[in-house]
Amino acid sequence: MNTAESSAVASGLVWLKSSYSGAEGGDCVEVAADMRTVHIRDSKATAGPIIRVSREAWAGFAGEA
């Protein structure tokens, strides 16, 4: 896992939320990907810190590897 970054650094990303979070938003995480990195943040604190991991690490976590 890489270091956290601020939301300002990742402001140009397209964030996706799990369909399991429901219509009210719920307590969930959001993810956004660029060419090399997957960015993860708390959906309730979108201005808070962001965790960055490699696409390979995310694929392993999500069970796609």
Q: Please state the pTM of the whole predicted model.
A: 0.72
pLDDT computed for residue 37 by the predictor: 95
Residues whose CB is less than 8 angstroms from the CB of residue 50 and which lie 6 or more positions away in sequence, other chains included: 4, 5, 6, 7, 9, 10, 39, 40, 41
Task: Tell me the per-residue pLDDT of 9-46, one tens digit each, with 9 for 90 and over.
Answer: 556 899 998 777 666 656 788 999 999 999 999 888 88
Residue 5 has pLDDT above 80, yes or no: no
- The pLDDT value given to residue 17: 85
